[in-house]
Structure 1
Amino acid sequence: MTDEATQRLQDAEEHKKSYDGIMGAATEVGVPGALGLTMMFTSLVMANGVLLSILAGVAVYVLSHIIVKMFFSHH
């Protein structure tokens, strides 16, 4: 039973590392990237021009990345 408990503890630690890695990638890159692309394509549909659309997408990406980092900085 001790071997099984040790194995379960190791599995739980490995799952936690995997979860933290996935959530870190999703919040640091995925969410800001999706919001940036959304803003870029919305700006294109509104006929604001390609350059302004790219700049808006980059600005939203940077801003949302900063906000997400501040929100999850309690770790």
Structure 2
Amino acid sequence: MAESMTSQPLAGWGKPDLDLTEAQWQSSSRGVGDVQIAFVEGFIAMRNSERPESPSLIFSPDEWHTFVRDARGGEFDLT
């Protein structure tokens, strides 16, 4: 499925091996937090802003929508 979305070779977990060197990274709307995201070739990349050299997570649009919905619903709250 992802293969038809991009001409890039697929990396592990069926995700493309995206070139993120020119990605336009965005922080949260409040300008705080440790996470940045970028929209690249139909996928969403997420990285740690304090360690941008570390590996990025790559989400398909469906995975991203599920993640955001669950985060807004408190799925990942520690309390």
TM-score, normalising length: structure 2: 0.25
Q: Which structure shows the higher helix fraction?
A: 1
Structure with greater contact order relative to length (CA < 8 Å, sep ≥ 6): 1
- Structure with higher Rg: it is 1
TM-score, normalising length: structure 1: 0.26
